[in-house]
Structure 1
Amino acid sequence: MQLIGHELVPYEKLYFCANTDEIDAKLQNMFYFNSEMIKAAQEKGAKFSVACENISECIIANAAGANLLVMSRREFTPKAANLAQFYLFDAKVACIIGDESELSEIAEYQADVAIFDNAIVWNRSKKETNGTF
């Protein structure tokens, strides 16, 4: 399992974007599934991760070039992980966690990546999201 945001493991921060203007080709962008956001990231040549709420969003985000499929609802994680393995997704299935105590749960869900909450830069969007999924 890959860890993003653990103090002992080097990582690249994820920058949460609330609109297309916040997408930056120099950063690892993250946003909720949205066709316009995906198109903007593609046009800018930006790396991006997509928070998905269902399996259809996972399939589309992977095909569109997402690096990570961030499961906003953990109950979909095992199904997304199985699909990713079966169809050989390029994207990895990820879950956001608060601390190390949640690693075993995420491992049981078969997530490829655990993202510690501190690895996400909420920026201007924090007001809109309250910094959570």
Structure 2
Amino acid sequence: MHPFRKAVEERDEAAVQAMLADDVVFTSPVSYQPYVGKPITAAILRGVLRVFEDFHYIREIADPNGCDHAFVFEARVSGAAGKKVTGCDFLHFNADGLIDDFMVMVRPLSGATALAEAMGAQFDRIRQEASELASN
């Protein structure tokens, strides 16, 4: 099992954060603009762990050189009548073995909409956490 998958499935926020490059670019399935930097990306991922229930990966796909990985997942969006989503985390690892590109896709549209609403409801908290991480 890939260390990223293990950290996420164990909800080990510190381990996930440690795998992020300082200049990581996070592309959300529900936001037009990507987010740049470790603090905001780590805070968004914490938020995702709060809004997803029964999160689990069902497949890992990796390129032969080990820099690109795709992790297919299933989860339910909390507070959205258990709206089930299927998605994929597309990760690129830099030469230091850290994630420098993190893109997420989610389906169906109704699930992505529920995710956008759930994440939007806590984005003030996410920004606050990112600010605290940036000042440490």
| Pairwise TM-score range, normalised by the shorter structure | under 0.3
TM-score, scaled to structure 2:
0.24
TM-score, scaled to structure 1:
0.24
